């Protein structure tokens, strides 16, 4: 079983729609979850952090964490063409790998006008 899996892409949504990105992880000891955005040819940049179950909102972005079901999601409201990028989920593993941040393979999002 992979440590982390993101919903397969690419995901294409029209401008103004809601984009929904999902990530599941296998380690129940995982803590501190992050969503990064990566534009083509650039390095990842942090857009959201979430540490406890529930929702966290920041502008047009909402992160949702459900530790019992081992998934974390990212909703982007009022999607804009500038949101077109690869979205990476990441988390800190528990146990002996404390301190190691593991990334998913990424989901490519395209927002078309």
- Told to check if 70 binds other proteins by CB under 8 A, we report no
Query: The tokens of 41 are what?
Result: 């040819």
- Told to check if 63 binds other proteins by CB under 8 A, we report no
Give 12's contacts (C-beta < 8 A, 6+ positions apart).
Answer: 109, 110, 111, 112
- Told to check if 100 binds other proteins by CB under 8 A, we report yes
- Residue number with CB closer to other proteins (17 or 32): 32
Write down the least CB distance from residue 92 to other proteins, Å: 5
Site for other proteins in 33-52 (CB under 8 A): 34, 42-46, 49, 51
- Residue number with CB closer to other proteins (3 or 13): 3
- CA angle (22 as vertex; 17, 66 as ends), nearest 5: 115
b vs e for 5-17, b when ≥16 Cβ sit within 10 Å of the residue's Cβ? bbeeeeeebeeee
Is the Cβ–Cβ distance between 58 and 4 less than 8 Å? no
Applying CB under 8 A, the residues found at the interface with other proteins are 31-32, 34, 42-46, 49, 51, 88, 90, 92, 97, 99-106
């Amino acid at each position: 079983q992979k440590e982390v899996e993101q919903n397969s892409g690419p995901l294409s949504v029209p401008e103004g729609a809601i984009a929904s990105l999902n990530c599941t992880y296998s380690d129940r000891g995982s803590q501190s979850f992050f969503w990064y955005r990566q534009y083509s040819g650039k390095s990842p940049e942090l857009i959201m952090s979430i540490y406890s179950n529930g929702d966290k909102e920041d502008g047009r972005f909402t992160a949702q964490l459900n530790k019992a079901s081992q998934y974390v999601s990212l909703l982007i409201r009022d999607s804009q063409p500038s949101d077109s990028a690869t979205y990476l989920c990441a988390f800190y593993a528990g146990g002996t790998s404390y301190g190691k941040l593991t990334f998913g393979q990424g989901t490519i999002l395209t927002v078309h006008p």
